[in-house]
Amino acid sequence: MNPWLATLQWYVDQGVDEAIADTPWDRFATPAAAAPANVAKAPVVPQSTQSPAGQTPTGQAPAAQPSTAPPSLGPRPPPRALMPAAQPAPIPADLAAAEDLAALRTLLDQYEGCALKATATNTVFGAGPANANLMIIGEAPGEEEDRQGEPFVGASGQLLDRMLAAIGLERAGVYITNTIYWRPPGNRTPTPAEIQACLPFLRRQIALIQPQILLLVGGAAAKTMLQRTEGIMRLRGRWFEYETGEDAPSIPALATFHPAYLLRSPAQKREAWRDLQALQNRLIDSNS
Ligand code: URA
């Protein structure tokens, strides 16, 4: 891989994936006194307080000193294989103890294992009847969902409503949620770590609702819930079994295109329509 791309990827893997100022600041070129007012300066540790080994009294490495040295790219990141693995999110409280959706929501509100919570306006837990036959799982809340705290209320939600109506379903009759509960900044794709941090809650949510059928819209939902590596182009239109991992039986799951993708690629609506008809037939069969 191009070394610049590799470096950027390394930053993203470390969680450095968000801009904190409106304009870029070249820390190598800027003398300390000219640092932008909105960027906190690292405290200067007097030389005399440092141990001979260059450590502060707390045993931590000293804070970086402002430098007027000529620009430098700094040390290259270590090869990926030598990098420390990302810290797994703290294991949530015993989710099996949540006996209904309200109790699960309370546990989610107490959960701090997904950093997206800090930047989101609202938690988008899910919406719909707790005994719905059909549960739809999307990717991640967008801007409007974040504002309202409800899944699929923006442009792609309106298309999802029309897709449901086309097979005689009302949004109010299905349960809708996402693979993650908080909007990623700038609507970026959620990272695998963010998805894994939310997954125990989503699995418990499915176990509580016990839908007859899961509709997985988009690659993120399909790959996560089916534990598959193929893209949505290969997964869509096919029936899989979602393994509950509990004594409960597996749940039939259909993957299809995400409405946001259909808005960008209307030619794919024909395939999506086939998927919807397959879903309708399966729902009729399972209720007859
Ligand atoms: N896209 C999603 O995947 N989920 C939402 O809730 C909204 C847009």
Percent of the chain scored above 70 by pLDDT? 71
Region 170-185: mean pLDDT is: 98
pLDDT of residue 84: 53
Percent of the chain scored above 90 by pLDDT? 65
Specify the higher pLDDT residue, 73 or 171: 171
Q: What's the pLDDT band for 4 if we cut at 50, 70, 90?
A: confident
**Ligand 1 proximity of 141 Cβ (cutoff 6 Å):** yes
Q: What's the pLDDT band for 67 if we cut at 50, 70, 90?
A: very low
pLDDT of residue 221: 98
Residue that the structure tokens 């080994």 belong to: 53
**Ligand 1 proximity of 190 Cβ (cutoff 6 Å):** no
Predicted confidence (pLDDT) per residue in 211-221, tens digit? 999 999 999 99
Q: How far is the CA of 155 from the centre of ligand 1 (A)?
A: 9
Q: What's the pLDDT band for 197 if we cut at 50, 70, 90?
A: very high
Q: What's the pLDDT band for 64 if we cut at 50, 70, 90?
A: very low
Q: What's the pLDDT band for 54 if we cut at 50, 70, 90?
A: very low
Predicted confidence (pLDDT) per residue in 142-164, tens digit? 999 999 999 999 999 999 999 99
Structure letter (DSSP) for residue 175:
E
pLDDT of residue 71: 46
Helix, strand, coil % over all residues of the chain, rounded to 5: 40, 10, 50
Predicted confidence (pLDDT) per residue in 267-277, tens digit? 999 999 999 99
Region 50-59: mean pLDDT is: 34
Specify the higher pLDDT residue, 32 or 200: 200
- Are 253 and 225 in contact, with CB atoms under 8 Å apart? yes
Q: Which of 135, 143, 148, 152 maximizes ligand 1 atoms within 8 Å of its Cβ, making it the mutation to test the pocket?
A: 152
Q: How far is the CA of 263 from the centre of ligand 1 (A)?
A: 13
Q: What's the pLDDT band for 66 if we cut at 50, 70, 90?
A: very low
Q: What's the pLDDT band for 83 if we cut at 50, 70, 90?
A: low
Region 229-245: mean pLDDT is: 97
- Are 147 and 120 in contact, with CB atoms under 8 Å apart? no
- Are 252 and 210 in contact, with CB atoms under 8 Å apart? no
Q: What's the pLDDT band for 117 if we cut at 50, 70, 90?
A: very high
Residues 6+ apart with CB under 8 A from 247: none
Domains located in the chain, CATH noted? 101-287 (3.40.470.10)
**Ligand 1 proximity of 151 Cβ (cutoff 6 Å):** yes
Region 177-197: mean pLDDT is: 97
- Are 243 and 204 in contact, with CB atoms under 8 Å apart? no
Pick the closest to residue 141 from 162, 171, 106, 117 (CA basis). Answer: 117
Predicted confidence (pLDDT) per residue in 23-51, tens digit? 666 766 655 544 444 433 333 333 333 33
Pick the closest to residue 183 from 196, 194, 169, 171 (CA basis). Answer: 194
Cα distances (angstroms) measured from residue 183 to each of 109, 120, 136, 149, 171 = 15, 6, 18, 10, 21
